[in-house]
């Protein structure tokens, strides 16, 4: 799609959000057609040192500048950027924004058409409390020590909520309701992802936590397969085509069969029969 045909063409986003959540949100807004300018401190975004390839991917198609907001000249440049922007995206503690005169009340007074999305760790009154993805998941029971999570769930969920918030603010402004402010808490963003666990669905032994043979992991002759034959018609077909022929087949019954072939042989077999079975893979290296 040509940039001019994208829904956010003509919208300007100014972001001071560093690390992962803010840049992921900014990249999504950019993919929707918005032009994005990222302001980094003089020392840059620390995430560049942690994971340079992903940092570069998250900044793709954007203008990245470094400003010292304690410098008069750089502060004036920052004000010029604010004046021409539609969305101001931050991931700085609220107290720090106040100190920089970049809190909502300050910028709304100076730039009344500018909407602001502030990403914070915890909701008020703890919105200045320090935290990271691992902390948010820990408080929600989404960690299984000693294993660390294989993705940054709270950060990525927060990024999506920040995009939704930005779109809602822009829509409200264009409807004549004026520029608005939205606060996105990363811990709250992860909260909805803990719902299946809180309701027992994915708890160990729960229906989707190993309690059903039709929704489970099985070791094969080489590797593992993920079976997602949750619907009755899939389960009936799977047990029939495996030669079990009964709906009360157990995990042990399926395990004894899956161990006879490799994971990719089972995946090929399942694909030919339109059954939801795939081989477990390693992450695609970048």
Domain ranges in the chain are 3-196, 207-279
Look at residue 30 and tell me whether its pLDDT is greater than 70.
Answer: yes
- Note the CATH architecture for domain 207-279: 2-Layer Sandwich (3.30)
Instruction: Give CA–CA dist 89/17, Å, rounded.
Output: 6
Task: Judge if 3-196 and 207-279 fold alike in CATH terms.
Answer: no
Instruction: Give CA–CA dist 47/26, Å, rounded.
Output: 15
Taking residues 3-27, report their average pLDDT. Answer: 95
3-196 fold: Rossmann fold (3.40.50)
State residue 52's pLDDT score. Answer: 97
Taking residues 228-238, report their average pLDDT. Answer: 96
3-state DSSP call for residue 1?
A: coil
State residue 107's pLDDT score. Answer: 96
Instruction: Give CA–CA dist 114/81, Å, rounded.
Output: 11
State residue 1's pLDDT score. Answer: 66
Band of pLDDT at residue 3, cut at 50, 70 and 90: confident
State residue 247's pLDDT score. Answer: 80
Query: Tokens standing for 208?
Result: 């989707």
Look at residue 90 and tell me whether its pLDDT is greater than 70.
Answer: yes
Closest CA to 13 of 68, 118, 65, 84: 84
Encode pLDDT of 247-266 as tens digits.
Answer: 899 999 999 999 999 999 99
pLDDT, the chain, mean? 95
Give, to the nearest 10 degrees, the angle between helix 21-31 and helix 153-172.
50
Taking residues 2-16, report their average pLDDT. Answer: 93
Taking residues 41-58, report their average pLDDT. Answer: 96
Encode pLDDT of 128-173 as tens digits.
Answer: 888 999 999 999 999 999 999 999 999 999 999 999 999 999 999 9
Q: Could you tell me the pTM of the whole model?
A: 0.91
Closest CA to 89 of 122, 118, 56: 118
Residues 6 or more apart in contact with residue 270 via CB below 8 angstroms: 276, 277, 278
Tokens 């402004």 belong to residue: 173
Closest CA to 19 of 60, 66, 58: 58
């Amino acid at each position: 799609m040509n940039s001019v045909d994208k829904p956010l063409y003509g919208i300007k986003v100014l972001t001071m959000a560093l690390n992962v959540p803010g840049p992921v949100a900014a990249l999504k807004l950019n993919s929707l057609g918005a032009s994005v300018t990222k302001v980094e401190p003089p020392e840059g975004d620390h995430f560049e040192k942690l994971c340079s390839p992903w940092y570069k991917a998250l900044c793709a198609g954007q203008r990245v500048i470094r400003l010292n907001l304690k410098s008069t000249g750089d502060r004036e440049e920052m004000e010029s950027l604010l004046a021409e922007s539609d969305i101001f995206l931050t991931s700085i503690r609220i107290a720090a924004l106040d100190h920089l005169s970049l809190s909502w009340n300050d910028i709304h007074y100076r730039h009344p058409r500018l909407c602001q999305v502030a990403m914070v760790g915890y909701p008020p009154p703890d919105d200045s409390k320090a935290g990271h993805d691992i902390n948010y998941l820990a408080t929600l029971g989404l960690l299984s020590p000693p294993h660390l999570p294989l993705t940054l769930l709270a950060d990525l969920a927060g990024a999506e909520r920040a995009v939704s918030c930005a779109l809602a603010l822009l829509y409200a402004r264009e409807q004549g309701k004026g520029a608005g402010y939205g606060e996105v808490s990363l811990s709250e963003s992860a909260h909805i992802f803990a719902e299946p666990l809180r309701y027992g669905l994915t708890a160990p032994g729960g229906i989707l936590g190993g309690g059903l043979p039709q929704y489970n992991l099985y070791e094969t002759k080489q590797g593992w397969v993920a079976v997602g034959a949750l619907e009755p018609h899939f389960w009936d077909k799977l047990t029939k085509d495996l030669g079990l022929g009964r709906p009360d087949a157990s995990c042990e019954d399926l395990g004894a069969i899956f161990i006879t072939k490799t994971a990719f042989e089972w995946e090929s077999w399942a694909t030919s029969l339109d059954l939801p079975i795939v081989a477990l893979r390693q992450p695609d290296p970048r």
